[in-house]
């Protein structure tokens, strides 16, 4: 009964049953895709095509610009009909390449490699870079950068994140059920590229079948171990996951590599495998479209650049007076104000919330100092103080309460009986101060 | 597809997009309910008067809250159960014989001054019910320290006045207590059941503990303050509370911790008032300090002070220290190697 975990955390209803049974199926190809040149952390890619160009599926349309950046590829074959600014799910505008789909699905030339396991570490890194792979759990940090740690921070453990601790989402779960062997191959490639002999896979214990499948697939793979984790949000946050699996604590403001660990999402491992084995760039991903407000919740294989509205249609449309659409999970996802935003490499889910599920955040009360948020903050912060100080405008003082160590997991706001929008207060304070 | 889009106004707000079921009013009403066993015990032992005093107290508290909120234009929050709780706690801290104006004035002071003047729920420094009680105790010391014998009301005769066990202990010593209650065993039993003089809601340890267990089980309170409070009282009572029977001289390690634990307003205070979120530290380490402080002050007053009972003043005094404790005992940041406190 002692499953690995961390201190603090919350137990929101996981609601995974809505979409857990839905096999990954390809979404109908859209007529056009809107592909952002910046869907990752770091510098945007530089447009490598012009309006009027014919492009093939998998062709580079945005070239990596600088070290922390990622290449962007076309997810369809067709014609570039526009390059301009479009809104993303996170609210920011960014340059996108609009491509009309000719439905030929003509691939650019890909370099297959059946003997991928004998690729050198450098070659693996190159392939990952060329494929434009970024963290697919949401943060979208370029994977090739993570694979090139500075010399003084040697990595000795690779962790695959299969926790999927956000309620509702089931895309990682379905991948682990349906493609466990390829995920393991991806993990091996990641380990090889870093010269690491230890690989862990952490999965929350509300997915016992995924644990079993991954264990089965990992059999015989040397150095790879699969662990069931306690079901507790935010179990899948990097620092919490590392703590649970290795007992190591990443220092404040530090990175996993400070404790010799690299964390990648299971979906990313799959993408790494596909890049090395088939030379395939990252042009599609699994997206859970779920929630009480959508007719048929599904796990869809979606071309990057597909608009959310297309996915809503694909899932039978809205129901139950759906009134909020979230890109990502309910704890950390972004509520979108238009359905005309594209799916990006980091979009793990589209959550459609019904009228009754929506919390009306304007009705909040003063902090009654109940201490619940303090007890559960996985970072050991005092969210109550942060919210109170920010509310009265004492932003600088928030720093004495480690404002910048908050990673906005939302656990505090979840438990608050006064329904205080704590994360909103924290973001406000962050926007008014410098770390 | 176009139609779908137009029909829908999407709500945009900051994450998280799901919230727990917990709410302030749910917490307050649950605490109110958890006090019912003790209130019922009070009515059983002290008769309808106990119900009467409590009812006046609750009604005045709610009316004060309503009145102040009307006057200040603050959003009315009498439905959240916190004013009811203050009234209930104040009532339970009064003698059943208290004349009607005592609960009225007490509630007014508790709500209008202690709570609303500081900005309402969440901003008050002191426990409102306790300030209300302290005020009426100082203003009407006689009425507030005249105790009736339990169950007298049901016998139908004039209620005889008597002293509380702590009062007897202070004025006359342990031998007198034993004389009144017969034996040590029956003293403990009567205290445990609540068959003794005292404030109407404080006497029945068993009834209070049932309510407290419920709150602990629901995690509306945690052990940190009550346990350290009670533990400190027990240790100090044992170490410093004893006297040589013959000479009446001070004797170390001869005190009676059980007697101290079961008397006065300790159990009511430790579980229901020293746990008031607003006025106690919110970090666990600070709560432990708070509990120990309450225990020490309580025993200082009981053993050395002019009053037989010190729980109320102990909690109020520690309320003063809450902001300092909270500022200095912060939580440990994840990943940080060493930090003072915990
Ligand atoms: S303060 Fe930040 S890290 Fe802590 S629970 Fe709240 S959102 Fe999460
Ligand atoms: S959970 Fe809400 S009410 Fe409780 S201490 Fe934290 S901010 Fe205050």
Quick: pLDDT tens for A190-248: 999 999 999 999 999 999 999 999 999 999 898 999 999 999 999 999 999 999 999 99
Residue A226 lies inside a defined structural domain of this protein: yes
Q: Check the CA dihedral B96-B97-B101-B105 and report its sign.
A: negative
Within this chain, do residues A131 and A260 fall inside the same structural domain, yes or no?
yes
Give mean pLDDT, residues A4-13. Answer: 92
Give mean pLDDT, residues A131-155. Answer: 91
For residues A25, A30, A35 and A41, what is the CA-based torsion angle, rounded to 10 degrees?
A: -20
Distance CA B42, CA B54 (A): 10
Atom of ligand 1 nearest to the CA of A373: 5
pTM above 0.95, yes or no: no
Give mean pLDDT, residues A261-289. Answer: 96
Residue A52 lies inside a defined structural domain of this protein: no
Residue A94 lies inside a defined structural domain of this protein: no
Q: How many domains does chain A have?
A: 2
Point out which residues pair with A99 in neighbouring strands.
A33, A80
> What pLDDT score was predicted for residue A361?
63
Residue A425 lies inside a defined structural domain of this protein: yes
> What pLDDT score was predicted for residue B118?
85
- Which residue among A250, A322, A337 places its CB closest to the CB of B12? A337
Asked if B278 reaches chain A (Cβ–Cβ under 8 Å), the answer is yes
State whether A418 and B13 contact (CB < 8 Å).
Answer: no
Q: Does residue A322 have a pLDDT over 90?
A: no
Contact (Cβ atoms closer than 8 angstroms) between residue A221 and residue A181: no
> What pLDDT score was predicted for residue B122?
87
> What pLDDT score was predicted for residue A17?
95
What are the pocket residues of ligand 1 if the criterion is a CB atom closer than 6 Å to any ligand atom? Answer: A 377-379, 381, 383, 406-412, 422-423
For atom 4 of ligand 2, the residue with the nearest CA is: A370
- Give me the tens of pLDDT residue by residue for chain B, a chain 342 residues long: 333 444 457 888 889 999 999 999 999 999 999 999 999 999 999 999 999 999 999 999 999 999 988 888 877 677 789 999 999 999 999 999 999 999 999 999 999 999 988 888 888 999 999 999 999 999 999 999 888 888 754 444 455 778 888 988 888 888 888 888 888 899 999 999 999 999 999 999 999 999 999 999 999 999 999 999 999 999 999 999 988 777 778 888 989 999 999 999 999 999 999 999 999 999 999 999 999 999 999 999 999 988 889 999 999 999 999 999 998 988 889 998 754 443
Range of the domain at A405: 361-431
> What pLDDT score was predicted for residue B342?
35
Nearest-10 crossing angle of helices B82-92, B101-108: 140
> What pLDDT score was predicted for residue A227?
96
**Mutation probe of ligand 1 site: the residue of A381, A404, A423 with most atoms within 8 A of C-beta:** A381
Within this chain, do residues A129 and A251 fall inside the same structural domain, yes or no?
yes
Distance separating the N- and C-terminal Cα atoms of chain A: 40
- Complex ipTM, two decimals? 0.90
Residue A205 lies inside a defined structural domain of this protein: yes
Residue A395 lies inside a defined structural domain of this protein: yes
Domain boundary among A227, A248, A278: A278
Distance CA A160, CA A167 (A): 19
What is the nearest CA distance from B48 to chain A, expressed in angstroms?
34
Residue A291 lies inside a defined structural domain of this protein: no
> What pLDDT score was predicted for residue B161?
77
Domain boundary among A251, A278, A305: A278
Q: Which residues in chain B touch residue A421, judged by CB atoms under 8 angstroms apart?
A: 13-14
> What pLDDT score was predicted for residue A130?
95
Within this chain, do residues A254 and A369 fall inside the same structural domain, yes or no?
no
Q: Which residue has the tokens 């014998």?
A: B149
> What pLDDT score was predicted for residue B6?
44
Within this chain, do residues A151 and A263 fall inside the same structural domain, yes or no?
yes
Point out which residues pair with A233 in neighbouring strands.
A10
> What pLDDT score was predicted for residue B3?
38
Residue A262 lies inside a defined structural domain of this protein: yes
Within this chain, do residues A274 and A402 fall inside the same structural domain, yes or no?
no
**pLDDT higher at A357 or A272:** A272
Quick: pLDDT tens for A45-104: 999 999 999 999 999 999 998 889 999 999 999 999 999 999 998 888 999 999 999 999
Domain boundary among A230, A246, A278: A278
Say which CATH number the domain at A149 has.
3.40.50.11540
Atom of ligand 2 nearest to the CA of A374: 6
């Amino acid at each position: 009964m002692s499953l690995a975990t961390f201190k603090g955390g919350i137990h929101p209803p996981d609601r995974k049953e809505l979409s857990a049974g839905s096999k990954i199926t390809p979404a109908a190809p859209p007529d056009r895709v809107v592909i952002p040149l910046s869907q990752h952390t770091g510098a945007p890619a530089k447009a490598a095509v012009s309006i009027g160009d014919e492009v093939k599926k998998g062709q580079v349309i945005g070239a990596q610009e600088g070290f922390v950046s990622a290449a962007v590829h076309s997810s369809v074959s067709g014609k570039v009909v526009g390059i301009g600014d479009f809104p993303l799910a996170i609210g920011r505008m960014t340059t996108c390449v609009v491509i009309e789909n000719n439905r030929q699905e003509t691939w650019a030339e890909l370099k297959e490699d059946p003997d991928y396991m004998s690729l050198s570490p450098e070659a693996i890194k190159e392939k990952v870079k060329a494929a434009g792979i970024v963290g697919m759990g949401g943060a979208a940090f370029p994977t090739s950068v993570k694979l090139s740690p500075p010399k003084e921070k040697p990595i000795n453990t690779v962790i695959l994140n299969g926790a999927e601790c956000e309620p509702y989402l089931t895309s990682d779960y379905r991948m682990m059920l349906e493609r466990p062997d390829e995920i393991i191959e991806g993990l091996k490639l990641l380990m090889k590229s870093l010269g690491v002999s230890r690989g862990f896979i952490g999965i929350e214990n509300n997915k016992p079948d995924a644990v079993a499948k991954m264990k089965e697939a990992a059999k015989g793979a040397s150095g790879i171990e699969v662990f069931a984790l306690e079901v507790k949000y935010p179990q899948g946050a990097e620092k919490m996951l590392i703590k649970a699996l290795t007992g190591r604590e990443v220092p404040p403001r530090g990175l996993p590599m400070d404790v010799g660990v690299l964390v990648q999402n299971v979906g990313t491992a799959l993408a790494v495998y596909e890049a090395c084995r088939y030379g395939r760039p990252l042009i599609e991903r699994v997206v859970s479209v779920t929630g009480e407000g959508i007719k048929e919740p599904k796990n869809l294989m979606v071309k990057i650049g597909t608009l959310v509205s297309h996915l809503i249609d694909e899932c039978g449309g809205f129901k139950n007076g759906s009134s909020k659409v979230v890109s990502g999970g309910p704890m950390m996802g972004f509520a979108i104000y238009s359905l005309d935003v594209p799916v990006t490499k980091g979009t793990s889910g589209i959550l459609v919330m019904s009228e009754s599920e929506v919390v009306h955040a304007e009705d909040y009360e003063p902090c009654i100092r109940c201490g619940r948020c303090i007890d559960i903050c996985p970072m050991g912060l005092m969210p109550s103080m942060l919210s109170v100080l920010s509310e009265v405008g004492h932003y600088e003082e928030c720093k004495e309460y480690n404002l910048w160590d908050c990673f906005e997991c939302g656990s505090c706001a979840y438990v608050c009986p006064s329904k205080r929008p704590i994360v909103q207060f924290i973001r406000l304070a962050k926007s008014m101060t410098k770390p | 597809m176009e139609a779908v889009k137009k029909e829908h106004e999407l709500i945009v707000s900051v994450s998280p997009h799901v919230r727990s079921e917990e709410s302030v009013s749910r917490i307050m009403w649950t605490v109110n309910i958890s006090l019912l066993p003790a209130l019922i015990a009070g009515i059983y032992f002290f008769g309808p008067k106990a119900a009467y005093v409590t009812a006046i107290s609750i009604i005045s508290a709610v009316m004060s809250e309503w009145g102040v909120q009307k006057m200040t234009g603050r959003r009315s929050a009498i439905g959240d159960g916190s004013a009811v709780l203050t009234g209930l706690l104040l009532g339970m801290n009064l003698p059943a014989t208290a004349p009607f104006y005592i609960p009225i004035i007490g509630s007014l002071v508790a709500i209008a001054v202690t709570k609303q003047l500081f900005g309402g729920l969440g901003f008050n420094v002191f426990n409102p019910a306790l300030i209300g009680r302290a005020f009426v105790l100082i203003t009407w010391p006689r009425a507030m320290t005249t105790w009736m014998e339990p169950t007298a009301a049901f016998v139908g005769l004039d209620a005889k006045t008597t002293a509380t066990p702590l009062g007897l202990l202070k004025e006359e010593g342990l031998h007198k207590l034993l004389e009144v209650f017969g034996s040590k065993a029956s003293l403990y039993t009567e205290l445990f059941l609540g068959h003794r003089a005292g404030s109407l809601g404080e006497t029945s340890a068993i009834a209070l503990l049932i309510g407290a267990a419920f709150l602990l089980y629901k995690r509306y309170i945690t052990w940190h303050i009550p346990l350290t409070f009670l533990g400190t009282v027990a240790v100090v009572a044992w170490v410093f509370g004893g006297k040589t029977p013959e000479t009446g001289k001070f004797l170390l390690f001869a005190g009676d911790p059980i007697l101290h634990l079961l008397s006065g307003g300790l159990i009511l205070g430790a579980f229901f008032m020293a746990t008031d979120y607003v006025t106690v530290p919110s970090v666990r380490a600070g709560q432990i300090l708070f509990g120990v402080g309450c225990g020490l002050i309580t025993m200082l007053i009981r053993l050395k002070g002019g009053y037989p009972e010190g729980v109320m003043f102990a909690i109020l005094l520690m309320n003063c220290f809450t902001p300092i404790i909270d500022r200095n005992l912060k939580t440990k940041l994840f990943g940080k190697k060493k930090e003072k406190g915990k």
